[in-house]
Amino acid sequence: MSTRAARCENRDRRRAGVYVAVLSISMFVLVAGVGALLAAQANLARTVAVDDALDAQVAAASGIELGRLLIQNDPNWRTTFTSGVWRSGLALGEGSVTISGIDPNDGDLDNRPHDRLVLRATGRKGAAQHAAEVELVAAATPLDALKYGLHTAGQLHVRSGQRLAVRGAAASTDGALRNDNVIFGDVIAASVTASGLFSGSLTTSATVEPFPTIDTAELYAALGTAISPGKTMASVSLSPQSNPYGSPDPDGVYVIRQDTDLTIEGVALSGTLIVISPGRKISVKSTVSLDPARTDYPVLVIVGNVEFLSGGVAVPKAGATLGVRGLVHVRGTVKFSADPQVTGIMLVESTAATDAVDVSADVSIKYDAALFRNPPQGYAKSVEMKLQPASWRRVFE
Amino acid sequence: MRDRALGMIEVVVATAIVSVLLVAALQTLAAVQTSTWRAADYRAGRLRAGELLARIAELRYADPQTPTAALGPDAGETPATYDDVDDYAGYEDAPAANGGSPPPAWRTSVQVVWVSATALNGAAAASDTGLKRITVTTERRGVRVAQAVAIRSSVP
């Protein structure tokens, strides 16, 4: 009996052992199989993810290409677009691209025609995202009028007994030249009523040199700080740090908008002065010291008729360079009753057939070619946005 | 007889379990192998497409001699002398074209079309829009495994 019981027990143990062995092998194979399958799927997913990342990168590069084309094709792109997203989720292949344009200076694309632009494109595919950006800088083609030391749309009149000297470039008029005495330098004129004496050449040309097509006075007025000096602005110092009429403007742009005549004397300006007084007389009395604070801004933009006179009060700023340096743009007539000692360029928009520029003193203008090479904002006939070398970079959003 | 180690039922049950397990294991193996092959094909295809796309993207937007010519290689140009993006329009990296390399199973083709700036995936434009869409497709045994798409503009 005991022998039989022992045999039964042995048999049961063997059966259980077989089951356990089969189940163990089953579990092992199952776990190994599922593990291998999961590993293979993860491998495939990783491959797809890498592929998506590459496609997102290509989409971002394509977005930069598209952004640059949008700028090139639209001369008014600064008003068409605002600083921010220009195109969102534009489908490309199996991914998409979003394009943004940002003005890094002040977030306003439209306020200055030469502002830099940061162009950013974000490519997406699946879960992958790649953002890249480049910087575009303005390459301005200057107005042809900036080739001259003095240029006017109307008559250039050098009165008897007076002299005009323009050094470094010619004087030019789209109207008539009336030279009743002497001009030192070259002159280009549409017509000549009196040629007088010349130290240089006189060329007759009917080519009209255009003035800015945009209202530069309003352009800078929108950027500047309004001041109200009344009828006389005397013995004051204006600069990015100093404004006796209120808060200083960071770029030193000050705007006078009034419907009265104005006398400027004894003024030391390191910045840009905008005077908007159409039809009014703006008297600038020696001595003054006017220098632009920014090389890409003019020094003086006047809507009105200007006369340069002597007999003003002394310049209040010790050590200041006397005279006017930079671009002077007058939308009116100019009369020189004294020499303002301009180093730069004078543009006089008056088309008056008589005395658009009236030289009633010995006047010397020294041309500054830097203003042609890098024209102040608003004084270009076209502005191309060019890729800043080495500005391409990846960004992480 | 009563002292046998395993009964018929035990043997049948164990064989059934092992059989099911074997089938499942083989299926898993096949799936793993397929997935591995797919990943490998995907990688290889994407690499081919990406390399060719990068080569094309380095070229000029238009031919310097005939900038207004139709899309496609100019007369006398060969892949070795392609000098602008659209020379690759219709290009096929067929085995016959390059002596059996890449392997015959692979085929890379290129499509270059003008597209509108508002619909990059849209239909091809009839004339130059200033934008060219370059699509490089890689196929293995007639099945598309990868595609890379880029845009090139006329801005220098």
Q: How far is B96 from chain A (nearest CA, A)?
A: 28
The pLDDT of residue B6 is above 50: yes
CB under 8 Å to A338, separation ≥6 — which residues? A285, A286, A308, A309, A310, A311, A361
User: Are the Cβ atoms of A25 and B24 closer than 8 angstroms?
Assistant: no
Report how far residue A55's alpha carbon sits from residue B15's, in angstroms, rounded to the nearest whole number.
Answer: 51
* B interface test, pick of A23, A54, A136, A384 with most B CB neighbours within 10 Å: A54
List chain A residues with pLDDT less than 50.
Answer: 1, 319
CA atoms within 13 A on the CB side of B58: 6
* B interface test, pick of A20, A23, A38, A66 with most B CB neighbours within 10 Å: A66
Amino acid B96: pLDDT: 47
* DSSP per-residue string spanning A204-227: E--------SS-HHHHHHHHSEE-
Token pair belonging to A163: 């002299």
User: Are the Cβ atoms of B146 and A51 closer than 8 angstroms?
Assistant: yes
User: Are the Cβ atoms of A18 and B38 closer than 8 angstroms?
Assistant: no
Interface residue ranges in chain B relative to chain A, Cβ cutoff 8 Å: 3-7, 10, 14, 17-18, 21, 24-25, 28-29, 31-32, 35-36, 38-39, 42-43, 46, 50, 53, 57, 117-121, 130-131, 135, 146-155
A279 close to A305: Cβ distance less than 8 angstroms: yes
Report how far residue A357's alpha carbon sits from residue A153's, in angstroms, rounded to the nearest whole number.
Answer: 9
Report how far residue B132's alpha carbon sits from residue A211's, in angstroms, rounded to the nearest whole number.
Answer: 38
| Closest CB to B6 among A18, A50, A97 | A18
Q: Where does residue A302 rank: exposed (0-12), middle (13-18), buried (19+ CB within 10 A)? A: buried
- Residues in chain A within 8 Å Cβ distance of B46: 50-51, 54
- Residues in chain A within 8 Å Cβ distance of B117: 66, 69-70, 73
pLDDT, one tens digit per residue, over B51-93 is 999 999 999 999 888 877 789 898 888 888 999 999 999 999 8
Confirm whether pTM is higher than 0.95: no
- Residues in chain B within 8 Å Cβ distance of A37: 28, 31-32, 35
Amino acid A3: pLDDT: 67
Q: What is the mean pLDDT of chain B?
A: 85
Amino acid A312: pLDDT: 75
Residue A80, preceding bond cis, omega within 30 degrees?
A: no
Token pair belonging to A184: 């030192």
Amino acid A47: pLDDT: 83
Q: How far is A13 from chain B (nearest CA, A)?
A: 9
A324 close to A343: Cβ distance less than 8 angstroms: yes
Please name the residue of chain A whose CA is at the shortest distance from the CA of residue B43: A47
- Nearest one of A368, A303, A367, A354 to A332, comparing CA atoms: A303
Mark out the alpha helices in chain B (DSSP H runs). 8-57
- Residues in chain B within 8 Å Cβ distance of A23: 17
Residue B17: which pLDDT band, with cuts at 50, 70 and 90?
Answer: confident
Q: Could you count the other beta carbons within 10 Å of the beta carbon of residue A82?
A: 15
A146 close to A165: Cβ distance less than 8 angstroms: no
The DSSP code for A117 is E
- Residues in chain A within 8 Å Cβ distance of B4: 11
The pLDDT of residue B4 is above 60: no
The DSSP code for A24 is H
Task: Report the run of H or E that residue A325 belongs to, with start and end.
Answer: strand A323-331
Partners of residue A102 on adjacent β-strands: A118
Report how far residue A216's alpha carbon sits from residue A87's, in angstroms, rounded to the nearest whole number.
Answer: 31
Q: Residues for chain A: how many in total?
A: 397
**Percent of chain B scoring above 70 in pLDDT:** 89
- Nearest one of A171, A215, A143 to A336, comparing CA atoms: A171
Amino acid B95: pLDDT: 55
User: Are the Cβ atoms of B31 and A40 closer than 8 angstroms?
Assistant: yes
Interface predicted TM-score (ipTM) over 0.85 = no
* B interface test, pick of A9, A23, A44, A68 with most B CB neighbours within 10 Å: A44
Token pair belonging to A238: 């204006």
The DSSP code for A148 is S
- Nearest one of A342, A284, A274, A281 to A309, comparing CA atoms: A284
Once rounded to an integer, what is the mean pLDDT over residues B4-18? 77
Report how far residue B93's alpha carbon sits from residue A60's, in angstroms, rounded to the nearest whole number.
Answer: 27
- Residues in chain A within 8 Å Cβ distance of B32: 36-37, 39-40
The pLDDT of residue B24 is above 90: no
Token pair belonging to A121: 């494109």
Partners of residue A139 on adjacent β-strands: A384
Amino acid A367: pLDDT: 98
